[in-house]
Amino acid sequence: MVPSAGPAVKLGITLNPLPPGVQDQTIGIAMVFSDLTRDWGAEALNELQALERAEPHENLEPDHCRVLVRTSMQPVSFQKVAELKRYADGRTERTDAHEALVTWTPPNETFVRRFSEPDGMLRLDRLHTTAQRVRSYLAFCAGFPVPVVAIVASKDFLRAVRLECDPDRYPLARARGLPSDSEMAAWTTALEQAYLRGQSLLNHFPPDEPKGRAISLVGAAIWAEEPEERFFYAWRALEVIATYDLAAVRRNVLAGDLTRASLYFDRKAVPLVSEQNVVIDPLEKVAVSVQSRVPETRMETIERYYALRNAIAHGTVSPEEHLEVLKASVPITALALQTANSCIEENGPVLS
């Protein structure tokens, strides 16, 4: 049955963009600038070349290597260009407001790493991976990609390496409005502390040890631009920490201490009493480790991360799963960072 025609009714929705009781709001609009006419990485390399000339690579012993790394953070400027006035009824008014540039000039730092390696092929590999390691450690400590340049050298090898990124990946480049002097001072202090902590972590945790690997993997996740790559690096960091935790529990059990082992035993109670073979799979290993270090983490979150990890590893990521990975790549990196920090500082902060 077709309903009879009636008077036309027009439906609409009016959105109030402001909180209740607020009639208008003024918002400053700022633009962010960086100077692309200067090659900041080349300028950082010039500083490293002066250090290299002070101790020429030809003077190194045959097996000795030196990696000089310089951060190449570049200045970022902000300028207020307009004001936007919003009203409770949805109207907006814009007025131009060009003001003077406000520029933040970040601090930069130099790192020197030395090692000996008799094998020629491994020596070349370690020269480059050491530069990458410094980059990853700095990202771990800063929480965002810190661009670096490097000179890697042995007695018979010398090369410049650039591991840089666009300044739009600095989190401060997405600041709202003009930063105050105190905000820029806080950015400077935070970056200087990241350099200090990075140097400390480099000194304390060799790259082939679990904690060093976890730091490098989290740093690589922070650097990765592709979501699947970022997600996978972060999951690998969680697995490295989980393997480290399980090894520590195993040593405690063999020494007669079952305290921490109960976290694993509780998950295996049913198969144990049912006389089944008991195997701790990667998901359970990561779950115990993460939930003991970051207790607020939900089990269903870890399970979904594991399923996405398997899809990435096996090359079977559907469009729907890719969207999940895209959304999850940032929180899993944050979880890996928090878990790794808990691991490396479990015996107290590493600052010296």
Q: For 68-107, what is each residue's pLDDT tens digit?
A: 999 999 998 888 777 777 777 778 877 777 777 889 999 9
Residue ranges of the chain whose pLDDT lies below 50 = 1-16, 352
Q: For residues 136 and 248, state if they share a domain.
A: no
Residue 18 lies in a domain: no
Q: Is residue 66 located within the same domain as residue 156?
A: yes
d(CA 165, CA 147): 6
Range of the domain at 297: 222-344
Q: Among residues 204, 232, 265, which one ends one of the domains?
A: 204
Q: Is residue 68 located within the same domain as residue 42?
A: yes
CB 134 within 8 A of CB 67: yes
Q: In which element (H, E) is residue 34 found?
A: none
Whether 6 maps to a domain, the answer reads: no
Residue 329 within any structural domain of the chain: yes
Is residue 301 in a domain?
Answer: yes
pLDDT at 175: 61
Q: How many CB atoms lie within 10 A of CB 129?
A: 16
Same domain, 254 and 308: yes
pLDDT at 348: 73
Same domain, 144 and 237: no
Give dist(CA 314, CA 311) in Å, integer. Answer: 5
Question: How many domains is the chain built from?
Answer: 2
Dist. CA 290–CA 239, nearest whole Å? 10
Q: At what angle do helices 282-293 and 227-254 cross, to 10 degrees?
A: 80
Structure tokens at 43: 């300028």
Is residue 200 domain-shared with residue 226, that is, in the same domain?
no
The whole-number pLDDT of residue 6 equals 39
CA distance 142 to 215: 12
- How far apart are alpha carbons 299 and 321 in whole angstroms? 19
Q: Would you say residue 108 lies in a domain?
A: yes
Rounded CA-CA distance 347/211 in Å is 13
Q: What is the pLDDT of residue 272?
A: 64
Beta bridge pairs of residue 84: 27, 94
Residue 12 lies in a domain: no
Same domain, residue pair 139 and 113? yes
Domain check: are 194 and 326 in the same one? no
Average pLDDT of the chain to the nearest whole number:
87
Classify residue 330: in a domain, yes or no: yes
Amino acid sitting at position 322:
H
In this structure, the answer to whether residues 188 and 235 fall within a common structural domain is no
**Whether residue 192 sits in one domain with residue 87:** yes
Give pTM, 2 decimals: 0.85
Residue 47 belongs to some domain of the structure? yes
Q: Are residues 109 and 139 in the same domain?
A: yes
**Which H helix or E strand runs over 89?**
none
Same domain for 137 and 231: no
